[in-house]
């Protein structure tokens, strides 16, 4: 039970960063291309050099992924919003000089430098490390240890079930946790319906973009982003309030709040990226109108000039020459404006190869809800897609998902639930705090190994089974949901590799956006990202325990000095020592947190 309470799903929690307002629509930074869980912290500490290294590593992994699957192709679903624009042949000035081209390039470069605040993410076809389709997995020298781990888990669960059968007459034992989840009156059906309604309500973000920003001409940089933030905050408050109103147990609360956080994150990325594009689109339309007016003026001037050709008086000749000079200047301006229009058009297309998916053609109901079910929280106009669904692969991941949940329930029931009930009994007997603290070391030792097991299983459940299942049924080809976090030698590396999707979101919408919107330096942006992450984690802990203690917040913020320490001469280039410190934190962190929340 406590395993979920201690933030194993931190990646999703971190997503709540979306509704906290650290993002003006006109300012949003770049992001790395690939996804992962406690990534929140990572986004903050990722330097520009590390970001480039991530992109290089992504391209390297693509080669291995494409060697085992060759069925990836760009997705080009139809759009009902396409509006073909008639092209007008450009007018060429009578005398074109090299200066014109130079000025055009300078203006285009200036535009790209000034407006390119959303760097297109690098989404590439790839597979997860433990996917059996990944050739790197089967060729790994540690492949046998992976097999040994799951054999050990199976035998461990068999032993737990056998002990339960001998003592209680059934393999589930006293099954309090299972009863909490599925017993009559626990509102499992209500939970499912409420979750569906919650996902459906994300469409309000589409309404804001199409009805408010695009059609009604609301300026995104003015009040548009405020409307988006008000909606996101109200949405998250409604999610938390609904769990309190229904009085759900911790199992229901964890799922609903975490999924609500993910939906807020998705809405934020969808809203702010499209809001940014809306500003570019409106500027391009304005420039098109100006070009049209200038070209009409040039045509009118040429007609008038042709009428005056018969008049060869000195005055008429001088006026004609003056008009030709003005026409040349006008045509220079027209060409420069067209160059900027071209740059804006390219940015509105992003990486998409289909014009029907460029902004604003992407603002359709299908596009929005397709993105909602994608295993990513960073919105883009187009993602790499596969061209078929492997039904057997999808079933494999689905069965593995329920199997892992069963294993987690068995471990929690056998080793974690008794410790929790022990603390409940101590409080019921009004045991003094000092006496309860005497039990803290023993409680910690009782929980450390079960929590370690649950920690690993939660990670595998989400990032290897659930996300891969969603990716398969949605034709989503980029499966790099995590990196080799088990080899981490520092906490910033862990934060980047553990949860790539949330890391990418925070890097784009919090870390870089803090720098561009608030004009802060990288260290302050790091502090903002870590602090926001810690507050969101603490909110989830409050939803579970109904206690506001701040233990998780403090421990998360302690990662900042630990990151700095890992870069000192005492730990730098000492990979084994750094990895030992990392695993010591993973071993002790969840159990320490749970013990503190239970005892105090």
Q: Tens of pLDDT along 19-68? A: 333 333 333 333 333 333 344 444 444 444 444 444 454 444 444 444 44
Task: Name residues whose C-beta falls within 8 Å of residue 311's C-beta, 6 or more positions apart in sequence.
Answer: none
Identify which of 215-229, 474-488, 548-562 has the greatest average pLDDT. 474-488
Residue scoring higher pLDDT (161 or 322): 161
pLDDT, one tens digit per residue, over 509-559 is 999 888 888 888 988 988 898 888 888 888 888 988 888 888 888 888 888
Check: CB of residue 220 under 8 Å from CB of residue 278.
yes
Mean of the per-residue pLDDT values of the chain: 78
User: What tens digit of pLDDT does each residue of 90-112 get?
Assistant: 333 333 333 344 444 444 444 44
Q: What is the pLDDT of residues 152-185, one digit of tens each?
A: 999 999 999 999 999 999 998 888 998 888 876 6
The reported pLDDT for the residue numbered 153 is 95
Which residues neighbour 91 within 8 Å (Cβ) at sequence distance 6 or greater?
295, 298, 299, 331, 334
* pLDDT number for residue 102: 46
| Percent of the chain scoring above 90 in pLDDT | 39
pLDDT higher for 77 or 273?
273
CA distance 263 to 236: 9
Q: Is the Cβ–Cβ distance between 463 and 499 less than 8 Å? A: yes
Query: 213 near 359, Cβ under 8 Å?
Result: no
pLDDT at 308 over 80: no
Residue 342 has pLDDT above 80, yes or no: yes
pLDDT value at 300 more than 70? no
Which helix (H) or strand (E) is 73 found in, with range?
strand 72-74
Q: Please report where in the chains the tokens 């014009």 appear, as a residue.
A: 355
328, pLDDT greater than 50 = yes
- Contact predicate 271/208, CB 8 Å: yes
Q: Please identify every residue annotated as catalytic.
A: 537
Give pLDDT tens digits for 385-403.
Answer: 999 999 999 999 999 999 9
* Residue in 497, 593, 477 with CA at minimum distance from that of residue 544: 593
Distance CA 277, CA 362 (A): 11
CA distance 553 to 531: 8
Between CA 445 and CA 592 the distance in angstroms is 10
Name the one residue in this structure whose structure tokens are 């971190």. 14
Q: What is the pLDDT of residue 32?
A: 37
Residue 409: the pLDDT is 94
Rg for the chain (alpha carbons), in Å? 29
């Amino acid at each position: 039970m406590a395993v979920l309470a201690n933030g194993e799903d931190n990646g999703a929690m971190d997503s709540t960063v979306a509704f906290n307002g650290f993002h003006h629509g006109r300012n949003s930074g770049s992001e790395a291309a690939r996804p992962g869980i406690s990534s929140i912290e990572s986004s903050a500490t990722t330097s520009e050099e590390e970001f480039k290294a991530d992109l290089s590593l992504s391209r390297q992994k693509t080669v291995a992924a494409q060697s085992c699957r060759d069925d990836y192709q760009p997705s080009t679903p139809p759009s009902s919003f396409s509006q073909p624009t008639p092209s007008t042949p450009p007018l060429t000035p009578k005398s074109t000089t090299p200066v014109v081209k130079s000025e055009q390039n300078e203006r285009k470069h200036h535009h790209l430098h000034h407006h390119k605040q959303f760097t297109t993410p690098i989404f590439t076809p790839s597979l997860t490390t433990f996917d059996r389709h990944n050739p790197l997995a089967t060729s790994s020298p540690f492949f046998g240890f992976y097999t040994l781990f799951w054999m050990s888990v199976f035998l461990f669960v068999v032993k737990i079930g056998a002990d339960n059968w001998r003592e209680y007459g059934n393999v589930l034992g006293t099954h309090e946790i299972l009863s909490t989840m599925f017993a009559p009156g626990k509102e499992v059906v209500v939970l499912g319906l409420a979750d569906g309604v919650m996902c459906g309500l994300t469409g309000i973000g589409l309404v804001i973009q199409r009805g408010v920003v695009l059609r009604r001409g609301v300026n995104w940089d003015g009040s548009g982003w405020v409307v988006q933030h008000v909606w996101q905050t109200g949405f998250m408050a409604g999610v938390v309030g609904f769990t309190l109103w229904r009085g759900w147990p911790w199992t229901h609360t964890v799922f609903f709040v975490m999924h609500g956080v993910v939906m807020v994150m998705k809405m934020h990325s969808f809203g702010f990226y499209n809001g940014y594009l809306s500003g570019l689109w409106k500027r391009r339309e304005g420039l098109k109108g100006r070009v049209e007016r200038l070209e009409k003026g040039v045509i009118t001037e040429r007609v008038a000039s042709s009428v005056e050709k018969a008049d060869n008086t000195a005055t008429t000749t001088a006026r004609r020459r003056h008009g030709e000079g003005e026409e040349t200047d006008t045509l220079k301006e027209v060409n420069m404006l067209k160059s900027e229009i071209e740059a804006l058009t390219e940015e509105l297309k992003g990486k998409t190869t289909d014009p029907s998916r460029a902004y604003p053609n992407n603002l359709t109901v299908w596009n929005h809800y397709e993105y909602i079910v994608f295993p990513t929280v960073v919105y883009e106009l187009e993602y790499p897609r596969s061209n078929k669904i492997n039904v057997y692969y999808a079933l494999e991941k689905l069965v593995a998902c329920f199997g892992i949940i069963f294993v987690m329930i068995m471990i929690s029931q056998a080793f974690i639930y008794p410790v929790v009930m022990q603390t409940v009994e101590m409080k019921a007997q009004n045991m003094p705090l000092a006496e309860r603290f005497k039990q803290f070391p023993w409680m910690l030792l009782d929980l450390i190994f079960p929590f370690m097991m649950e920690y690993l299983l939660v990670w595998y459940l989400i990032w290897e089974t659930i996300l891969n299942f969603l990716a398969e049924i949605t034709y989503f080809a980029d499966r790099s949901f995590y990196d080799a976090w088990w080899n981490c030698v520092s906490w910033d590396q862990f934060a980047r590799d553990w949860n790539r999707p949330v890391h990418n979101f925070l890097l784009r919408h919090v870390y870089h956006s803090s720098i561009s919107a608030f004009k802060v330096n990288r260290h302050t942006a790091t502090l903002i990202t870590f602090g926001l992450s810690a507050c969101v984690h603490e909110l989830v802990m409050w939803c579970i325990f109904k206690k506001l203690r701040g233990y998780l917040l403090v421990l998360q913020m302690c990662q900042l000095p630990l990151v700095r320490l890992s870069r000192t001469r005492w730990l730098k280039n000492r990979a084994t020592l750094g990895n030992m410190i990392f695993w010591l934190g993973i071993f002790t962190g969840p159990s320490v947190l749970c013990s503190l929340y239970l005892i105090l």
